A = this chain, B = another copy of it.
Amino acid sequence: MTGRAETLRVGVIGTGAMGASHVTTLATSVPGAEVTALHDVDAPRADRLAAEVGAASVPSASELIESDRVDAVVVASPDATHELLVLECLAARKPVLCEKPLALGVDGSQRIVDAEVVLGRRLVQVGFMRRYDSAYRALREAVLGGDLGTPRAVHCVHRNAHAQPGATSDSVIMGSMVHELDIVPWLVDDPLTGITVVAALSAGDAFADLQVAVLETASGLVATVEVFVNAEYGYDIGCEVVGTAGTARLTAPYGLARRRNGVDGRGVAADFVERFVGAYAWHGVTDYVDGSSPDGRPRSW
């Protein structure tokens, strides 16, 4: 048991849905964290939110990053700005949590990795919050602890109720399937070596809103992934790891079951906020300061 660490002062860039959610979580649910500065190109929106949490609204992102009152930064601004802002944080030697994507392409991501390597210190986390979900963590412990024998296969399901406006066949992979590409190698501690994607596409479909992938890893494990962004019935995340000695799978954190009108049912989450609320609030100050997660895998949260 330890007492509370000193307060970490966080600046948040971007106050849209994700940014505002980070501000609320940090201000009310993360012991040891304090939101001291906000920036948004929509200054009035940043001003309002800043007033609510007692933070300063700062006129530019660079000023926020360099501020003496900011120990760590959250980047939740539009995708195109991520790479530059993260590089600025590295230059200022401040820990940064960047919402996905880290950059717009492979080259940009590589530039960030290179900068961090030069710095010799890990400061960047990407917003893969599942690693902080208690169920995913229990699943990983079961796998790495040997409970399932040798892992041989993984099955992932990722369903959103409704596609976001402007969704494309590409964004299904970049915005949704990317979570599975992060979590599978993390769960089995085994890097990906190959991926095959098959779109379920009928004549007349505007884009491939349901896609299936087969992933292969270095050790010979195979994973299947379904991503369906128009599942309609709700937000649903499934994961099963199959080993030589048994299997383990996520079960939804239902809490309550009802029997009504001939159905014995449980509620499905409406969206990722409802499903992963605990994961967003989980990590404490230590994770920010040293850029590490408790499992010794520092690059993401």
Binding site for B on A (CB under 8 A): 1-4, 20, 23-24, 27-31, 34, 52-54, 134-135, 138-139, 142, 147-149, 152-153, 155, 157, 159, 196, 198-203, 205, 210, 212, 214, 216, 219-222, 224, 226, 228, 230-234, 236, 242, 244-268, 270
A257: which B residues are within 8 A, CB to CB? 248-251
In the bound assembly, the distance between CA atoms of A132 and B251 in angstroms comes to 23
A52 touches B3 (CB 8 A): yes
Asked if A135 meets B256 with Cβ closer than 8 Å, knowing A210-B152, A230-B244, the reply is yes
In the bound assembly, the distance between CA atoms of A29 and B3 in angstroms comes to 10
A148: which B residues are within 8 A, CB to CB? 258, 260
Asked if A252 meets B264 with Cβ closer than 8 Å, knowing A4-B27, A196-B196, the reply is yes
Q: How many identical chains are in the complex?
A: 4
A259 touches B236 (CB 8 A): yes
Closest to A248 in B: B258
**Most B-side CB within 10 Å, residue of A27, A200, A202:** A200
Nearest first, the 5 closest Cβ-Cβ pairs linking A and B are A265-B265, A246-B260, A202-B220, A135-B255, A263-B265
A268: which B residues are within 8 A, CB to CB? 259, 262-264
A256 touches B266 (CB 8 A): no
Given contacts A263-B265, A263-B267, 7 further A-B contacts (CB under 8 A): A1-B27, A153-B212, A198-B222, A210-B222, A249-B258, A250-B257, A251-B255
Closest to A201 in B: B220
In the bound assembly, the distance between CA atoms of A249 and B265 in angstroms comes to 11
A2: which B residues are within 8 A, CB to CB? 28, 52
> Closest approach, in angstroms, between the C-beta of A257 and any C-beta of chain B?
5
A152 touches B4 (CB 8 A): no
User: What are 9 A-B residue pairs whose CB atoms fall within 8 Å in the complex?
Assistant: A1-B52, A1-B53, A28-B31, A135-B255, A159-B242, A196-B196, A233-B259, A263-B267, A265-B265
Closest to A264 in B: B266
A230: which B residues are within 8 A, CB to CB? 244
A260 touches B244 (CB 8 A): no
A205: which B residues are within 8 A, CB to CB? 220
Closest to A134 in B: B255
A196 partner, pick from B29, B198, B246, B270, beta carbons under 8 A: B198
